[in-house]
Structures are given as C-alpha cells and as structure tokens.
Amino acid sequence: MKGMYAVYRKEMGHYFVSPVAYVIVAVFLILAAYFFTQLLALYIQRAFEAGLEEGQFGGGAAFDVPSLVMRSFFGVLSTLLLFLTPMLTMGVYAEERRRGTMELLMTSPVTDVQIVLGKFLASITLLVIMLLPTAIGFAYMLHHSEPTAPWRVLGSEYLGVFLLGTALLAIGSFFSSVTESQLIAVILSFGANLLLWVLDFGSQTASSAWASALEYLSAFRHYDDFTRGVIDTSNVIFYLSFIFLGVFLTIRSVDSMRWRRA
Amino acid sequence: MIEVKDLTKRFAEHTAVDHVSFVVNKGEILGFLGPNGAGKTTTMRILTGFLPATSGTAQVAGFDVFNDSLEVRKRIGYLPENPPLYLDMTVTDYLDFVARIKNVPAEKRRARIEDALQKTTITDKRHELIKRLSRGYKQRVGLAQALVHDPEVIILDEPTVGLDPKQIIEVRHLIKGLAGSHTIILSTHILPEVSMTCDRVVIINRGRVAAIDTPANLTTQLKGGQNVRLEVQADQNAACAAIREVPGVRRVSGEPAGGKGRVALMVEVSPGQDVRSQLAAKIVGKGWPLYELRGVNLSLEEIFLQLTTEESEHAAASSN
Ligand SMILES: Nc1ncnc2c1ncn2[C@@H]1O[C@H](COP(=O)(O)OP(=O)(O)O)[C@@H](O)[C@H]1O
Ligand SMILES: [Mg+2]
C-alpha cells in the first residue's frame, strides 16, 4: 500500500513538472471549450428557428438545448480522448525503461502490482483533472436553462467518459510497458484505440454473428448509452473488465521484464 | 551475509554467468573484478532480484533472492551501472521518493536523507534539479540513493566509472567508510581499485570465477611463478609429497575433488619455471590416473594484463 502510494506520488509529481502533461491538458481544454461553445451556439440557433416555425405553423417538438449540447459534446470528448490518452501514457513505462529507473523500481521492496497500480491511479487522476474544468461549462448552462436541466443525464455522461477514458489509459499503459520508445508506445496505443473505434463501423457491414461480436468489443459503442443518460450495468461491466484486462496485461508485461531485459 | 552457489545465467545460447560461487562475510567489502562482459552486472542483477538465475542459488541475509525476493530487496541498496535517476526531480525529492519505496518509516525519513546527503557530500546541491548536475554529482546522487535506507547490504556496479581522479578517490574513501556497518559488493574492471578498497576479490572472466583471494595474496601470486592445477586419483598426502619432490615446486595444497578418491592439487611453482611435463611424468610414474593438468596463472595473468592496460587507458583518459 505504501509502496503503491510512493509510486503514485512520484508519478503525479512527474506530471506536474513535465511540460508534456500541461500541453496535453491545455490542448484538450481549448478544444473542449471550442466545441462546447460551437455546439451551444448551433443548438440555440436551431431552437430559435424551431421556435419561429412553431409560431408560424403551431405544434412542433420542444427543443431541449441542454440535452442536445451535452450529448453531442460527450461524443466529441470520446474522440478527443482517443487522440490524447496515448500521449498521457506513452512515457509511463517506456521512459523508465530507457532511463534505467525501472531497475530501481524493480529492485526495491515494491511488488510489480504496486508499481502498476500506482502508475495507473496517477494517470486516472490526471484524466479527472482534465475532465473537471468541462463541468464548469455545464454548470453554467444548466443553471441558466429552463426548465430544470437533466443533472442525472450529465452524471451518466461523466461516468461514461470516465470509464472510456480509464479503459483507454489501460490500453496506453500496456503499450508503454512493452517498449523503451515513447514514440512506439504512442503509435501502438493510438492504433489500438482507432481499431476499437472502427470496430463499431465494421459491425455494420459484417454478417450477424461477427457483427454482434465486433459491436460488443467496440469500446465506443458501449459509450453511446451513457451519452443518452442510460446507465446500463452491462456497459459498466464491459468497461470494468476491459480495464481489468489492461491492468492485468501490464502487470504481466512488467513482470516479464525480469526475464527479458538486459 | 551473502552466499552464492553455482549461479548460472544463460541468455539464449550465451552463458553470461557460469557456475559462480562465493561468500561475502558481514561487514566485508568484496571486489568483483573482471573485464567488460565478464558477467559482473549480470551477477549483481541476480542478487538484487532484477533477473532470475538459470540455475544455482543465491542468499542474502539468509533469504533466497528468488523465493524471498521482497525480503532481499528490503535489505539491499543497489547502484546499477547507470545511476537510476529521475532527471526532473531535485536531489532531495528524489531521495525522499527512494526512501519511501524502500519502506523508510515517515519519522526517520528526514534524518536518513540528511545522512545520505552528508555521506556523499552533496548537501549543497540538495535543491538542484538532478539534470543540472555534473556527471560526478549524478554518480554521488546514485550512491546516496543506495544508502538512504541504511541497508545491510550495498551492491555497487562500477561506482567509479566516468569520474575524474579526484572524485574517484573521494568515492573510494566513502565506500571504505561504509564497510563494517554494511556488507558491500562492488564491481570494477580496474585492478588497483580493488587493492585499495576491498578486503577480498573475486576475479571473474567470461562468466567464471578465476580466483578468490585477498588483494595482497593475489598480488604475490602474480609476482610469483605460474601455478598448475592437477586432478589425480590418489591419496592426498602421498600425492602432495610426491609432487614436492619435483624441482621447481614451491608449495602444494590439495583438497578432495568430486568422488572416487580424486584430489585436486594446486601447485605453486618458482618464477620462470615450467614444470608441467615433469609433474605429468611424476604422476604417471607413480601409476596414478591423471584427470587434469593445467597452468592456472597463465589465464589469470592474461586477465590481469587486460585489466591493467585498461587501468592505464582509463587513467590517461581521465587525466586529459
Ligand atoms: N539481456 C541480455 N541478453 C543477452 N545477453 C546479455 C544480456 N545481458 C548481458 N548479456 C551478455 O552477458 C555477458 C556479461 O555481461 P555483463 O554481466 O553486463 O558483464 P560486465 O558487467 O562484467 O561487463 C556479456 O557478454 C553480455 O553481452
Ligand atoms: Mg557491467
């Protein structure tokens, strides 16, 4: 426990002195803010046009601007995470291996599990730090919206993006542990993320048995329900098993360094 | 304190460490001397739990390095060949992190860090980022890292490589000061280094132990003649007595080798003499089966030659 906390603390310290983490978080927040304001403007205009039509012709569906903005925004967030999480995790093991500090960790009285969990929890913390400021926009929007806004839906969406992000971090950590090169780590994890993304499309053309298998494996498909405000236990279980598998493989990979490395 | 038995490590086809055995007593400084590629680093990595051995055993403070790896790791301070430094940290932050992963209790951490800073004389650099330090200071931070939890056993892989002559003297002095309260293994490919710092030396070449002795004995042995190792099937005392009769033989010592009544004899020969054919004639004349006869010091001398030339190159390089 103490060993894990020591590793966690060191990783957090590293994130805060490393320009890489700042750049990633800044890029993420700038893009997120841009998409948020664009989506908000778009849907307000749509609602306004819909309101005009309603005035002229009567009837028409009510236009729930906050829900639409939230749903589209969380769709965009998943794409941003797909691009940015590999950069957050690329150095986690690759850099330690290259610098020889892995030898310090692995000859200290901490277990491989403590090393991996400490590092993983630190990357999750950074993900949360990255996501938190986006809540400011929603708090503002929901506070000003009429009628009262769907807080529960927002909660479900944040849960979804947290689970998806954590799963992507698990993938990235694993690929960082198999190489000494950050560049290779980032390429491999980005490739894996993309594959999980396109599985979703593949499932639309494949035959039915394959289609459902591919669909099930697509980490992004399971995300859709969350963005609609539906928390389905099977989706939560999917992400938790995904994360567990990623962490497990990373532990095995760290363990196997003792067998491989010079 | 450390007991290594028949330790062997194979990488694919290549045997990096080949049936190495030695013992390090409590409080002793053991030098691990051998040319590059001899297997020093590999042996140390096995002792620290970084690599598993292919076969053989190693114990540190009574714990097996493979089965009780965590217990062993608690008791070891290790400076790898390349100091494992986090360049973005300050010296104190780095030592604090190492103290934490080495299980130093919170209330002792500060004092331990101060002590390590002082022993390695880097107190004035404590708030510097490690990446801004010179090579010599980085090496000392690496040493401080190996000391910070006050381990029983300290393993140092080529601790003076890349330092200038003045720094080398300081580091040697520091290591000598640690003996007694710590058990130390240090590796080097520089001969004078072991005679200055170590109580005993293991000479290792191509993965095999070539000799284990005190630096003084090794030096006299080298200055003396060539030794011959014999393996004979005979009564030990009779064999020793017979060999002493051969002109040029200075001393004979024997010990049982394997089973079947064989003895291994180490024959010390006067300088400049080659008595191998006379020895063979003597033994065959007695009717004893002869299993082995080889000049030992020749290879030892070769190793030393290599080591000493490296030392002079090293000195030349660092004085430039
Ligand atoms: N991971 C590895 N894979 C293959 N060969 C290795 C590995 N590590 C070391 N070796 C080989 O083992 C031998 C001993 O290396 P090493 O223990 O580093 O020697 P030293 O530290 O005495 O210079 C060398 O020939 C080296 O090439
Ligand atoms: Mg070496």
Which ligand 1 atom sits closest to the C-alpha of B11? 4
Mean pLDDT of A51-69: 66
pLDDT in the model for residue B298: 46
* Domain ranges, residue A72: 2-261
Mean pLDDT of B193-206: 85
The structure tokens 């750049």 sit at A23
Which ligand 1 atom sits closest to the C-alpha of B14? 5
Note whether A57 contacts B: Cβ–Cβ < 8 A.
no
Using a CB-CB cut-off of 8 Å, the residues of chain A touching B10 are none
Answer yes or no: are the C-beta atoms of A111 and A4 closer than 8 Å: no
Mean pLDDT of B118-146: 93
Protein residue closest via CA to atom 11 of ligand 1: B16
For ligand 2, the distance from its centroid to the CA atom of residue B156, given in whole angstroms, is 10
Q: Which of A53-67, A141-155, A197-211 ranks highest by mean pLDDT?
A: A141-155
- The answer, yes or no, to whether residue A113 has pLDDT greater than 90, is yes
* Predicted-complex ipTM score: 0.86
pLDDT in the model for residue B214: 84
Q: Which one, of A10, A238, A192, lies nearest residue B100 by Cα?
A: A10
Using a CB-CB cut-off of 8 Å, the residues of chain A touching B101 are 3, 6-7, 105, 108-110
Q: Which structure tokens are listed for B85?
A: 């430094």
Note whether B93 contacts A: Cβ–Cβ < 8 A.
yes
CB distance B40 to ligand 1 below 6 Å: yes
Distance CA B66, CA B79 (A): 19
For ligand 1, the distance from its centroid to the CA atom of residue B41, given in whole angstroms, is 7
Higher pLDDT, B9 or A57: B9
The structure tokens 């055993």 sit at B57
* Lowest-confidence pick of A75-84, A243-252, B83-92: A75-84
Note whether B66 contacts A: Cβ–Cβ < 8 A.
no
- The answer, yes or no, to whether residue A262 has pLDDT greater than 50, is no
Residue type, B190: I
Mean pLDDT of B176-200: 86
Q: How far is CA B61 from CA A2, B1, B49, in A?
A: 24, 5, 14
Residue type, A226: F
CB distance B300 to ligand 1 below 6 Å: no
- Which pLDDT band, with edges at 50, 70 and 90, does A53 fall under? low
Can you name the residues that pair with B31 across neighbouring β-strands? Answer: B186, B201
pLDDT in the model for residue B125: 93
State the nearest Cα–Cα gap between A21 and chain B, in angstroms: 14
Phi, psi (5° rounding) for residue B133? -85, 155
* Lowest-confidence pick of A123-132, B66-75, B243-252, B263-272: B263-272
Residues 6+ positions from B99 with CB-CB distance below 8 Å: B109, B112, B113, B148, B149
Interface test with B, best of A105, A108, A112, A180 (most B CBs within 10 A): A108
Residue of B nearest to A16 (CA): B88
Say how many residues make up chain B. Answer: 320
Q: Is A178 exposed, middle or buried (0-12, 13-18, 19+ CB in 10 A)?
A: buried
Look at A109 and B103 and tell me if their CB atoms are within 8 Å. Answer: yes
pTM of the model: 0.81
For ligand 2, the distance from its centroid to the CA atom of residue B44, given in whole angstroms, is 9
Q: Which one, of A119, A80, A114, lies nearest residue A3 by Cα?
A: A114
Look at B84 and A104 and tell me if their CB atoms are within 8 Å. Answer: yes
pLDDT in the model for residue A235: 87
- Which pLDDT band, with edges at 50, 70 and 90, does B320 fall under? very low
Distance CA B232, CA B240 (A): 11
Residues 6+ positions from A202 with CB-CB distance below 8 Å: A214
- The answer, yes or no, to whether residue B309 has pLDDT greater than 80, is no
Using a CB-CB cut-off of 8 Å, the residues of chain B touching A7 are 101
CB distance B41 to ligand 1 below 6 Å: yes
Mean pLDDT of B87-113: 95
- The answer, yes or no, to whether residue B318 has pLDDT greater than 70, is no
Can you name the residues that pair with B29 across neighbouring β-strands? Answer: B184
Look at B101 and A101 and tell me if their CB atoms are within 8 Å. Answer: no
**Domains held by chain A: number:** 1
- The answer, yes or no, to whether residue A178 has pLDDT greater than 50, is yes
Mean pLDDT of B46-67: 92
